[in-house]
Structure 1
């Protein structure tokens, strides 16, 4: 009788012990690379990430097409592998601090560029806040100049191109047009077709291109797309970028800490140029000659799945291509809640490892 009572007293403790063990086992299974989790973050990332960035992120400057000043970041910690990151619209290198921290701990040097007109790079459109570009091809040619300046082939054994959203369109066009040093590419929710709220693509092109032309008759400044405005601090509630509040706050707080990186809505010309560029990237995907991993956000409201699906289908030079939809993930997969972010980054790191082991072959 006494032993039975003692056992009953021990049962809650044993249950807690088993639960903790199961949780730890599950955490290891979901996070085999030891990537950063939301529990380790604050509204300013965290001390480890910020210290890493302050110590290792070296700012640089590059003259882009038309002599536009481009801001760059190099993180070199004596690795034999490198990743170049092509960012999305209205982003700065600072939004990638956590991702750079995680990738560097996996043995990669990192190279990041603020595309023209955003981040710390020279602004376009007549003021600080217009998200503007004259020709989308300028982004592509800028990226080529930046990559040439890095001389990656002579510095590293393995080189990779990682891109997000607008940066995916830029990366695709770059890979389609230029000789490059990369052995594989990763696309996070690439902008291969834009969510236009039901407006047909051809109508949106006509409206924005003609609107931009009319605007140029009356003003030296670019005109915002219909309903567009200058920068305003965004709130987590109702955002369509991520369901992780701590990662949303950390990324948005970079704009508060560095007001020079703030950017408003897109100009009409940016939209017209981007619609054409996305179509071109999809149509010419058969020119890409390296293995590609495309990570699609299942709940994306910024870009649509149709263009990504067509782009992937057109990647005919490589059988070693991979496609993964992250269910319930919003547009910024790399800033999503742990479940979605870990699924995406685990797949990306496995893909990179397979590339280094020679398991990805680019055969038709």
Structure 2
């Protein structure tokens, strides 16, 4: 009896230090019931992987200069659709968890491995060099892909969700082409790259001249100074997320599918990307749909200055939002729950409000 009484007395204090996974999930601001870290392992989880195996349909199309571009479609009969434009050195596999969560909210998904990465055809002379001849090739590929989907006749609403380099690509696409989208969300958009103390004009001069010089000595694209082939990364010194489980899940996709491994960027990639980011800023007023910019407050890959300039230049559409998440690192969709859920809650709420007729573009 005394032992039982002691346990009853201690129970409230034990509960303070041992929160069940379900209770922990309820404590988070998670109104959409999105996946949390308590449900994950070092390879996402069995449910997410089973969803991907069942629903993710791979395909290829020929992009600029007949390069093979890999895509994935997840079509489960949803009323709305989201096209995802990925960042540099990513593959569609990194987006398994995000696709799983978005599909459960009523969205079909369409994903593209941009040229030179993921399962798409490689450039630069070998598998590992993160290279592109012209940034505009990314944009033209994206237009070719989206045009082939014929989204306007299939769905009630279509949205474009992009990350980092993919945000620069999708922004230029929206500025240049007729499109089927009702809104765009940009995670950690690459509107200015962190060059340290090197001024942009100097970085462009170095990388453009370095590219020209490299062609005299090699048939392969030259890495940026200090660049290397693919090397497995450690969580302890990573710059993209504070979630160890999501970091490991992402890294393990490259180990399971070595063909998705990519090294550092080429000089040409840096040169053309810096110019493209500035172009995206300068022509932001040509975007004619609502835009949500989600900024990672702890980002060291891209800088905030370009994001602020881009947002300020969004003058064509009345409806725009800028959302900063303090301390979040670059890959928000793979971040700890407190950051990832904040970003996805804002995104889903943004889409829902637009579907309800709130916040029109003009008015």
Q: Determine if the TM-score, normalized by the shorter chain, exceeds 0.5.
A: yes
Number of the residue aligned with 1:3: none
After superposition, the C-alpha distances for 1:6-49 in whole angstroms (9 at most, x for unaligned) are: 9997554356679969x949835601111111111111110000
Root-mean-square deviation (CA, aligned residues, Å) is 2.0
1:146 Cα deviation after fit: 0.2
TM-score relative to the length of structure 1 = 0.95
The equivalences for 1:348-363 within 5 A come to 348-363=347-362
Q: Which runs of 5+ in 1 are unaligned?
A: 1-5
Matched, 1:13 2:11: yes
Matches of 2:178 and 2:359 in 1, distance apart? 20
Matched, 1:255 2:254: yes
TM-score relative to the length of structure 2 = 0.95
Matched, 1:323 2:317: no
After superposition, the C-alpha distances for 1:235-285 in whole angstroms (9 at most, x for unaligned) are: 101100000000000000000000000000000000000000000000100
Number of the residue aligned with 1:162: 161
Number of the residue aligned with 2:176: 177
Matches of 1:178 and 1:9 in 2, distance apart? 68
Q: Does structure 1 retain, via aligned residues, the 8 Å contact 2:89–2:262?
A: yes
Number of the residue aligned with 1:299: 298
Matched, 1:333 2:332: yes
Matches of 1:87 and 1:225 in 2, distance apart? 21
The equivalences for 1:34-113 within 5 A come to 34-113=33-112
1:360 Cα deviation after fit: 2.4
Matches of 1:169 and 1:295 in 2, distance apart? 14
Matches of 1:250 and 1:72 in 2, distance apart? 20
> Which segments of structure 1 move beyond 3 Å, counting only runs of 4 or more?
6-21, 23-26
Matches of 2:285 and 2:59 in 1, distance apart? 34
1:190 Cα deviation after fit: 0.5
- Describe the shift of the 1:10–1:270 C-alpha distance in structure 2 as closer, same or farther (beyond 3 A): same
Q: Does structure 1 retain, via aligned residues, the 8 Å contact 2:25–2:36?
A: no
- Describe the shift of the 1:79–1:68 C-alpha distance in structure 2 as closer, same or farther (beyond 3 A): same
How many matched pairs? 361
Number of the residue aligned with 2:309: 310
The equivalences for 1:217-296 within 5 A come to 217-296=216-295
Matches of 1:213 and 1:244 in 2, distance apart? 40
Matches of 2:76 and 2:25 in 1, distance apart? 31
1:198 Cα deviation after fit: 1.1
After superposition, the C-alpha distances for 1:48-86 in whole angstroms (9 at most, x for unaligned) are: 000000000000111101110000000000011000000
After superposition, the C-alpha distances for 1:119-170 in whole angstroms (9 at most, x for unaligned) are: 0000000100000000000000000000000000001000000000000000
What is the SS of the residue equivalent to 2:361?
Answer: coil
Q: Which runs of 5+ in 2 are unaligned?
A: none
